[in-house]
Amino acid sequence: MVIARSCSLGSSTSVMCFTLGLCLVTSSPFHLGSCLPSYGAAAPEWTGYALLDSPVALAAWMLDHDTDSYEKISHAFLDGQPAGNLTRDRIVDNITLYWLTGTGASAARSYWESGRATARAAGQAPPEVQLPVGFTTFPGEIFQAPRSWVEEAYPTLTYFNEVDRGGHFAAWEEPELFANEVRAAFRPLR
C-alpha cells in the first residue's frame, strides 16, 4: 500500500519505502519559502552538525521548513493561537524528541538522499508503482495535486481525498485527521 501526501508528481517526487512494504510518497525538498532543507540537500553534514549541536538550530530548521509550517509555528508562539495540534507545548515536545534521540541529522540527510535520487533520475520516467495507492491532499502543502494528475501518476489509485486542514507536517498538525485518512486508505484492502 502506498500512502501519498500532496506532492509534485514529476521527477522531483521522492519515495521513501519502509520495511513492511509500505511506501510514503513525499514532496520535493525544494519548497518555495524554505531555506534550510535546501542546505540539507546540498550538504547534509553541515546541517546535521548544527542540528545535533544546538536545540536552537534544530528549532530554527523546523520553523523554516516551509512557509505554511513557519506561519503555523509562529502563530503558536507569538500569538498563542495553535493551528490544529501545533500548540507551544507540542512543538517543544517534538523538538525535544528530535533533540534527545539525535535524529535531526538523519532528517536532514533524507533531503540530500532525495536530491541525489532526483538528479540521477532527471529526464527519466519514474518506475511504475505496483502497490495500491492512497492519496490525501492537505491544503497547507506547497502543491496540491489534482485527482486527474494523481490518477495519471498512480494507476493503482484506490483512495483519494482532499481534506480541509493540515500541511507539510500533517501527522503532527492534525493527528486525528491524518490517522483517519490512513484508516480510510487501508479500509478497501481489508
What digits encode the pLDDT tens for the residues 108-153?
Answer: 777 778 777 777 878 787 788 899 999 999 998 888 899 999 999 8
Q: Could you tell me which residues come within 8 angstroms of residue 6 by beta carbon, excluding any fewer than 6 positions away?
A: 27, 135, 136, 137, 138, 141, 143, 144, 145
For the chain, give every domain's residue range: 2-30+132-189, 36-121
Residue 24: the pLDDT is 36
pLDDT tens per residue across span 146-183 = 999 999 989 999 999 999 999 888 998 999 999 999 99
pLDDT tens per residue across span 159-169 = 999 999 998 88
Minimum mean pLDDT among 71-75, 135-139, 183-187: which range?
A: 71-75
Question: CB–CB of 41/29 below 8 Å?
Answer: yes
pLDDT tens per residue across span 36-52 = 445 455 566 677 888 88
Residue with cell 500500500: 1
Grid cell at residue 187: 479500509
